[in-house]
Amino acid sequence: MSLLSSLRSLVTALVNRGRIENDTDEELRAHVQNRADDLEHSGLTRAEAERRARIEFGGHEKFREECRETGGGNLVQVLIQDSRYALRILRRTPLVTAVAVLSLALGIGANTAIFGLIDTVMLRLLPVAEPGELVQILRNDPSRAGPAVSSFTNPLWEQLRDQQDVFFDTFSWSAWQFNLAQGGAVHDVNGIYASGDFFNTLGVRPAAGRLFSGSDDQRGCPPTAVLSFGFWQEHFGGEQSAIGSTLPLNNHIFQIIGVSASGFYGVDVGSKFDVAVPVCAAGVFDGKASRLEQRSWWWLNIMGRIKPGLSQEQLKARLTVLSPQVFSAAVPEDWDLDGQQRFRRRTLVAVPAASGTSSMRKQFSQPLYILMAVVGLVLLIACANIASLMLARAAARQKEFAVRKALGASRWRLIRQLLTECLLLSTAGALLGILFARWGTRLLVRYISTANHKIFLDLSLDWRILSFTTAVAVLTGLLFGLLPAFRSTRVSLTSAMKGGSLAEGSERRGRLRPGKWIVASQVALSLLLLVTSGLFLHSFFKLATLDLGFDRRDVLLVNANLKSAEIPPASQNAVFDDIESRLGAIPGVVAVGRSVRTPVSNFEWNQRIQVDAPDAPHGEDALVYFNFISAGYFPALRTPLLEGRNFNRGDTVSSAPVVIVNQTFAHKFFPRSPALGQSIRTNDSPAKKAPAMQIVGVVRDSKYES
């Protein structure tokens, strides 16, 4: 019988159980009557014929039970019976049961927690309409090695937005920080610039009010904002009166027009938005030097829905044809001729974006898979331990199994009972493990978050996590239950009734062999886990004792946002100097310095440089990391100066440009001559020829990013 036929028979038996049992009784009575008729025709009286017919057929209940088992109608009752008996057995040894459940909960919970992160970061689709149709548009520079880049300028976006031959719809966005406070205070929230078709293309519906449309993203339109559902609930209590009210953003007033749907956090996995403003709102914040006009300001990301029926090959071909038109219409005017020619040769690339975008995938995919292997190993060890407990428990129940076999129970019936007990244990462990997983996942997310980059992940349970947990629970129940069940039900009735055990008589060595295998597997898995843990601890110790090139002891970081404090750019340097002087005057303060970025943070700034030396690296090999610092930066971090001098008050905007480099830079770009006194210039755009900067000092290497 096929699986489909078996399921159909089971459903029919459960739904029409009363009618089927009545039909069975009628059929049994008909058989008895037919046999009685035959016996009566042979010369017996009617009463005697019916008596003998009933004796020959035996009890009706036996036939009914066989019919139920054949049709599957007795399955649910049997499972309930097995489960009740299994619960009674497990309650007899509460300590063993508790140890088994707790071990499984830790193992299954750890696996569920790591898989939950893998699912959220790498597998889960965006909660939008038809996410499989989404692609992210990237730009590729044939003159440079490396992957395609996701950032675009607004002029490029406007050129691409108007091309409807390839995409059904397109939208752009950019993550940003907005300040809600006024009067010099700071209250930053996560925001995004979103084009007019952002929500419509994604199929996101408003929870209140309305969302952006194309008319909201036109230059000169009134500044409007859309709130996320969580921000609306937290700051406005979910009141409808929020629609139409105003919200200060970077000291500009925006009108709230709507709230996005619950459960939509944006398209960047690992972050969420609180407030969305149209892309054209950048002109409100920037003033005259708006990034909307800048052809070298790379700040927008672009997604689109491919047209129905368009294959990946056709999409690639159309983008190849479209690329020269798009890039030629948005060439940076201040670039030199060579740079402009290379800009025109750039091409557009589309990659699937059903799961959104995320920098976390590249950063955490390998560590997550390694952790998945480690916690899987932990679960295997737990299964081996519980299998040993099950074997020991089964050895003490040999008389019970012998009695049940003597009463007619088949070996399969005993195996089914033992597997039911194991599956109950794994189910209890899985239920408790889900609670552990919820706690553990949040702990991991909090651990990998930093002060500058707080990670947000939607950790709600979905069908993948529940299916994974269910599958793990069933597999672990079978894994630690099958071997004890098959070995312990091979019962010798004679030896069992005499008080024998699994290891008695001629079967002693055969009975002990599974236990030896389990012990051996426990030792092997534990040794493997111990070695792996040792490697992890060694790596952790190396990271904890890594020489960062600076001394972080007694160092306090202070952030200052002068732009939000409405201080004009021309006065900001003087304000920073005043802050440094006041902090330096505090008793106990040894040194005070400032920088654009802090060491080992998620923010980086790199540019290609040009060095007038015959053996100096060029192109991508000349990509270096930069930082703007004050004279007190190196003393504050206790980074030693090896050659030359530190910055001083004579190094100003109006003086000759100077830089300080580290040891690696000096050896890489000037391997045969001293770096001091040499000149370098930036060459990133490439734009107009940048001024030369003289190297006045060399410091010890320090860690720039994690």
Q: Does 247 score more than 90 pLDDT?
A: yes
Summarize pLDDT for 567-580 with one digit per residue, the tens: 777 788 888 888 88
Percent of the chain scoring above 70 in pLDDT: 83
CB 549 within 8 A of CB 704: no
Among the listed residues 657, 606, 637, 650, the one whose alpha carbon sits nearest the alpha carbon of residue 699: 637
Percent of the chain scoring above 90 in pLDDT: 37
705 within domain boundaries: no
Pairing verdict, β 641-644 and 693-699 = antiparallel
Among the listed residues 363, 404, 596, 603, the one whose alpha carbon sits nearest the alpha carbon of residue 497: 404
Angstrom distance (rounded) from CA 404 to CA 411? 10
Q: Do 36 and 101 sit in the same domain of this protein?
A: no
Among the listed residues 203, 257, 206, the one whose alpha carbon sits nearest the alpha carbon of residue 229: 206
When divided into structural domains, the chain yields a total of: 4
Please, is 313 exposed, middle or buried when counting C-beta atoms within 10 Å of its C-beta (0-12, 13-18, 19+)? exposed
Q: How confident is the model at residue 511, as a pLDDT?
A: 46
Q: Do 285 and 163 sit in the same domain of this protein?
A: yes
Angstrom distance (rounded) from CA 241 to CA 232? 11
Q: Do 365 and 234 sit in the same domain of this protein?
A: no
Q: Do 200 and 330 sit in the same domain of this protein?
A: yes
522 within domain boundaries: no
546 within domain boundaries: no
- Better-predicted residue by pLDDT, 101 or 600: 101
* Counts for the chain of helices (H) and strands (E), in that order: 21, 16
Summarize pLDDT for 651-683 with one digit per residue, the tens: 888 899 999 999 999 999 998 889 999 998 886
Q: Does 692 score more than 50 pLDDT?
A: yes
CB 116 within 8 A of CB 465: yes
Q: Which residues of 263-299 are buried (b: 16+ CB within 10 A; e: fewer)?
A: ebbbbbbbbbbbbbbbbbbbbbbeeeebbbebbebbb
Q: Do 43 and 96 sit in the same domain of this protein?
A: no
Among the listed residues 44, 278, 17, 339, the one whose alpha carbon sits nearest the alpha carbon of residue 154: 278
Which residues, in sequence order, are CB contacts of 87 under 8 Å at separation 6+?
A: 424
- Better-predicted residue by pLDDT, 627 or 399: 627
Neighbours of 500 (CB within 10 A): 18
Handedness of CA 581, 584, 590, 593 (dihedral sign): negative
Q: Per DSSP, what are the bridge partners of residue 209? A: 258
Q: How confident is the model at residue 407, as a pLDDT?
A: 73
Q: Do 69 and 115 sit in the same domain of this protein?
A: no
Summarize pLDDT for 262-309 with one digit per residue, the tens: 999 999 999 999 999 999 999 888 877 789 999 988 999 999 998 888
Summarize pLDDT for 160-204 with one digit per residue, the tens: 987 777 888 999 999 998 988 776 667 889 999 999 999 999 999
Q: Do 476 and 386 sit in the same domain of this protein?
A: yes
Token pair, residue 326, equals 């798009």
- Better-predicted residue by pLDDT, 377 or 509: 377
Please name the amino acid found at residue 495: S
- Helix 46-57 / helix 17-41 crossing angle, nearest 10 deg: 130
Please name the amino acid found at residue 225: A
Q: How confident is the model at residue 684, as a pLDDT?
A: 54
Looking at 454, 483, 504, the residue that finishes a domain is 504
Q: How confident is the model at residue 337, as a pLDDT?
A: 83
Summarize pLDDT for 400-422 with one digit per residue, the tens: 878 777 777 778 888 888 899 99
Q: Do 153 and 33 sit in the same domain of this protein?
A: no
Task: Out of 204-208, 259-263, 458-462, pick the least confident.
Answer: 458-462
Q: Do 278 and 211 sit in the same domain of this protein?
A: yes
CB 681 within 8 A of CB 692: yes
62 within domain boundaries: yes
Q: Do 135 and 16 sit in the same domain of this protein?
A: no
Three-class DSSP category at 80:
helix
Among the listed residues 208, 207, 172, the one whose alpha carbon sits nearest the alpha carbon of residue 192: 172
540 within domain boundaries: no
Give the pLDDT band (50/70/90) at residue 20. low
511 within domain boundaries: no
Query: Cα–Cα distances in Å, from 100 out to 93, 97, 103, 300, 651?
Result: 11, 5, 5, 53, 69
The range of the structural domain enclosing residue 246 comes to 131-352
Looking at 504, 539, 554, the residue that finishes a domain is 504
In 585-705, which ranges are continuous DSSP H helix? 633-637, 663-669
User: Torsion over CA of 232, 233, 237 and 242, rounded to 10 degrees?
Assistant: 20
Pairing verdict, β 606-611 and 224-227 = unpaired
Among the listed residues 39, 54, 97, the one whose alpha carbon sits nearest the alpha carbon of residue 422: 97
The alpha carbon of 228 is separated from its chain's Cα centroid by a whole number of angstroms, namely 21
Handedness of CA 195, 201, 204, 209 (dihedral sign): positive
Q: Per DSSP, what are the bridge partners of residue 414? A: none
Please, is 495 exposed, middle or buried when counting C-beta atoms within 10 Å of its C-beta (0-12, 13-18, 19+)? middle
- Residue the block writes with tokens 């100077």: 658
515 within domain boundaries: no
517 within domain boundaries: no
Looking at 450, 485, 504, the residue that finishes a domain is 504
Average pLDDT, the chain: 83
Q: Which residues of 100-117 are buried (b: 16+ CB within 10 A; e: fewer)?
A: bbbbbbbbbbbbbbbbbb
The string of DSSP letters for 345-407 reads T-EEEEEE-TT-B-SHHHHHHHHHHHHHHHHHHHHHHHHHHHHHHHHHHHHTTHHHHHHHHHT
Give the pLDDT band (50/70/90) at residue 326. very high
- Better-predicted residue by pLDDT, 500 or 137: 137
Q: Do 146 and 117 sit in the same domain of this protein?
A: no
Q: Do 482 and 628 sit in the same domain of this protein?
A: no
